Structure 1
Amino acid sequence: MPDADMSDPLKFLVVDALNGVQAFARQLLHSHGFAADGILCCADTDAALAQGLAFKPNFLITDWFPKAPLSGIQLYRRLREVQPGLQLSLLSFEVTPEREFEALALGAHFLLKKPFTAEQLQTELTRALEAVAKNSPGPGRPARPAPRPVLPIMPPQPLVKPGDRVRYQGAVHVAQYVVHRHGETVVQLKGQTAFVPLEKLQPA
């Protein structure tokens, strides 16, 4: 029985607290021919797990999140329970020999030290995608040949993290989840079910 992750176009989950990193990774994947509905971006591992279990990504690009209750490594292991063929790439402000060894042991395509340049992420991600394409000929590849990517500029967006106090419609709320999807960043406030566009929030 063929693996599900190789019978359909690849789906990507990008997890990073920086909106600029999310936006750049999304644009870079677009430039390689991957569809918008196959790319999901989240600002923290809790939101990534909640959505990733249903989204079932084939490729996880995540910050290490060493101080989070659910680290990037733990997120990867949880998502592999529903997607055994999940590919991994890691980002981290602190790259130690121990982390390099752990990343290698997990089969990560790369462990990229922050802060990195747009060119560095492009180089590592392009190499990883080429490696995946070699192992998944046909359906797993993007619908059209990848042109040489034009490097976008990482946008300086206001950063809202889970737990931050924000002002919305004259009242102060607490951000619970921050998600980048379909080209925009949205925030779920505690006690509310709807997502609010980031641009409608102000720091409290």
Structure 2
Amino acid sequence: MRFLVVDALAGVQAFARQLLQTHGFAADDILCCADPEAALARGLAFKPHFLVTDWFAKAPLTGPQLFQRLRQAQPALQLSLLSFDVTPEHQAEARALGAHFLLKKPFTADQLKAEMTRSLEALARQSPGLHGQVRDTMRTSRPTPRPVLPLIPPQPVVKPGDRVRYQGAVHVAQHVVHRQGETVVQLKGMTGFVPVEKVQPA
């Protein structure tokens, strides 16, 4: 049983890998990619049975489109989706694609663990064969220490040029930077960076 995890956040990739290994799946059967294009190129050769991907709504190749492309080579491919923006339209599309879940970011370790466990157990209840591997692997896996989910940054609420309120004053956001698992903002006229959660739209 092979898994493809696609997310721009290294923390999400690492936690998903840890979680699957906790269920007894081998590290060689878990492939992680940061973007859909790389995932498509590597996934066609890897031939995953289960895709866990961010929606990548603004990317040339979205998560759902990646699933559809990979499914042409792997018709039994299973899907789960992650997204900062969960709209009724997204939920309807996820249902139409047969996704096991559409989980809104930022999420907790327990939320992702619960959704993934539920999805794997659902596969294990299905007919023997490929999905029987899930049942057998989960039955024989040994308990391992609970993985810790690194901090997932909140969805950026500002973009360069926006007016924001910080420490009671109104500033202009000059740069928005994603680094080391966090999102920070540089305000015009200030040299340092401010965590995005400490500013509000003005």
- Normalised by the length of structure 2, the TM-score is 0.69
Query: Could you give the per-residue CA deviations for residues 10-50 of structure 1, whole angstroms, max 9, x where no partner exists?
Result: 10000000000000000000000001110000000010000
The question of 1:145 aligning with 2:145 is answered no
Quote the Cα distance in structure 2 between the aligned partners of 1:143 and 1:94.
Answer: 32
Contact 1:119–1:151 (CA<8 Å) still a contact in 2?
no
Contact 1:46–1:70 (CA<8 Å) still a contact in 2?
yes
Contact 1:118–1:151 (CA<8 Å) still a contact in 2?
no
2:119 maps to amino acid: A
Query: Could you give the per-residue CA deviations for residues 125-167 of structure 1, whole angstroms, max 9, x where no partner exists?
Result: 000000111125465222752455643223469xxxxxxxxxx
Higher relative contact order at CA 8 Å, sep ≥6: structure 1 or structure 2? 1
Structure 2 CA distance for partners of 1:117 and 1:155, relative to 1, 3 Å: closer
Aligned match for 2:57, one of 54, 66, 71: 66
Query: Could you give the per-residue CA deviations for residues 162-199 of structure 1, whole angstroms, max 9, x where no partner exists?
Result: xxxxxxxxxxxxxxxxxxxxxxxxxxxxxxxxxxxxxx
User: What percent identity do the matched residue pairs reach?
Assistant: 68
- Normalised by the length of structure 1, the TM-score is 0.68
Backbone CA RMSD of aligned residues = 1.9
Would you say how many aligned residue pairs link Structure 1 and Structure 2?
148
Kindly name which structure, 1 or 2, has the bigger radius of gyration based on alpha carbons. 2
Segments of 4+ moved more than 2 angstroms: 136-139, 143-151, 154-157
* Structure 2, gaps ≥5 residues long: 153-202
Give 1:131's aligned residue. 122
Matches within 5 A, 1:1-204: 10-137=1-128, 139-141=132-134, 142=137, 145-147=140-142, 150-155=145-150
